[in-house]
């Protein structure tokens, strides 16, 4: 009997809440759009080129991506310090949930390095771990919508660092430098020349990253530009697309770097001509 008397009250309460939510949404949707200081074209162009909205970084005029990158680094390093101090010393033989996630992250990149670079995988494992963590979390960074003031005085949401072409180029060049360095160290001049043949690698790496991240940024910018779309769609578009291309780009860059690194450090077979000459000489 008591249940029967309680249920109608609960239903009335839920209906009341739904009504409030619906009316609030309707009011917000019917509000006139806020004053825009940029057109959608300008927003998209700035999203790609970052020509207008500059930010100050130690008195330097930089793209928002630089601020985002250093913010992400600060957050990641702070998290790493907390993990190092509070979690890693409590690691157990049978891992708990957090330990399992951390071990999985390390083992994923280390395993990928071992799989693609059979001969020397120690350094590349560490590199793709750091690069992977950076790409993944810096891409997710745009979801949080941290605000920063531009030099023009406008508030601006910090974008993903890699949506700045300079960050993408930096990643591509660093990855290529590591591959080239490994080729030179392990294979000498011949190994270095082998890597130099793939001179398009840094360009492809950089622009792949930039294009993938930029596409996410543009979609998000487009969605957020229109107020009416930003109530429902960002949840799906923002989170899903960002998560998806964060994971994909992390995986792609880590795989490419480990494969090219593996090829660079692979021991080269002796040249046939020399061996033929030697054989003739011995005959």
Partner 1 sequence: MNLPLNIDLLQILLHMLNFVILAGGLYLLLYSPICKFIDGRQKAFEEAEERNRLTEEENLRLKNEYLLKISSAEAEIAEKKKAAEKEWADTSAAYIREAREKADAIIRAAETEAEDRKEHILESVQTELGELVIGAAHKLVSDTVTPERDCALYDEFIRLADEKLAEEKASHRKTDHKA
Per CB under 8 A, residues contacting partner 1 are: 48-51, 57, 60, 62-63, 65-66, 69-70, 72-73, 76-77, 80-81, 83-84, 88, 91, 93, 102-103, 106-107, 110, 125-127, 129-131, 133-134, 161, 164-167, 169-171, 173-174
CB of 195 to partner 1, least distance (A): 19
Number of CB atoms found within 10 A of residue 90's CB? 9
Pick 191 or 249: Cβ nearer partner 1: 249
Pick 169 or 252: Cβ nearer partner 1: 169
CB of 215 to partner 1, least distance (A): 15
CB of 217 to partner 1, least distance (A): 14
CB of 240 to partner 1, least distance (A): 26
CB of 89 to partner 1, least distance (A): 9
CB of 157 to partner 1, least distance (A): 19
Sequence-distant (≥ 6) Cβ neighbours of residue 186 within 8 angstroms: 119, 120, 264, 265, 267
Pick 102 or 247: Cβ nearer partner 1: 102
SS (H, E, C) the chain: CHHHHHHHHHHHHHHHHHHHHHHHHHHHHHCCCCCCCCCHHHHHHHHHHCCCCCEEECCEEECHHHHHHHHHHHHHHHHHHHHHHHHHHHCCCCCCHHHHHHHHHHHHHHHHHHHHCCCCCHHHHHHHHHHHHHHHHHHHHHHHCCEEECCCCCEEECCCHHHCHHHHHHHHHHHHHHHHHHHHHHHHHHHHHHHHCCCHHHHHHHHHHHHHHHHHHHHHHHHHHCHHHHCCHHHHHHHHHHHHHHHHHHHHHHHHHHHHHHHHHCCCCCCHHHHHHHHHHHC
CB of 118 to partner 1, least distance (A): 18
Pick 168 or 265: Cβ nearer partner 1: 168
Pick 129 or 261: Cβ nearer partner 1: 129
Nearest to 141 by CA among 236, 67, 211: 67
Pick 168 or 195: Cβ nearer partner 1: 168
Pick 122 or 188: Cβ nearer partner 1: 122
């Amino acid at each position: 009997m008591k249940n029967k008397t309680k249920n109608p009250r609960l239903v009335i309460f839920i209906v009341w809440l739904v009504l409030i939510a619906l009316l609030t949404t309707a009011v917000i949707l019917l509000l006139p759009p806020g004053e825009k200081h940029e057109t959608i074209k300008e927003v998209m162009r700035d999203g790609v080129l970052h020509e207008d909205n500059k930010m100050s970084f130690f008195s330097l005029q930089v793209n928002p991506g630089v601020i985002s990158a250093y913010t992400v680094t600060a957050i990641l390093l702070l998290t790493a310090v907390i993990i190092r101090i509070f979690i890693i010393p409590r690691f157990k033989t049978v891992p708990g949930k957090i330990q399992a996630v951390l071990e999985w992250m390390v083992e994923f990149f280390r395993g990928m390095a071992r799989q693609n670079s059979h001969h020397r995988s120690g350094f590349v494992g560490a590199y793709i771990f750091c690069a992977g963590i950076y790409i993944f979390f810096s891409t997710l960074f745009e979801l949080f919508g941290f605000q920063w003031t531009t030099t023009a005085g406008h508030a601006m949401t910090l974008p993903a660092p890699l949506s700045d072409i300079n960050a993408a180029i930096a990643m591509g060049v660093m990855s290529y430098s590591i591959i080239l360095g490994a080729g030179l160290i392990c294979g000498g001049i011949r190994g270095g020349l082998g890597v130099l043949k793939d001179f398009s690698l840094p360009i492809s790496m950089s622009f792949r990253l930039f294009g993938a991240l930029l596409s996410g940024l543009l979609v998000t910018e487009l969605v957020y530009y229109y107020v009416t779309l930003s109530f429902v769609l960002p949840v799906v578009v923002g989170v899903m697309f960002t998560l998806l291309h964060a994971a994909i780009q992390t995986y792609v860059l880590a795989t490419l770097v480990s494969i090219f690194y593996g090829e660079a450090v692979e021991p080269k077979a002796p040249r046939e001509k020399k061996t033929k000459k030697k054989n003739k000489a011995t005959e």
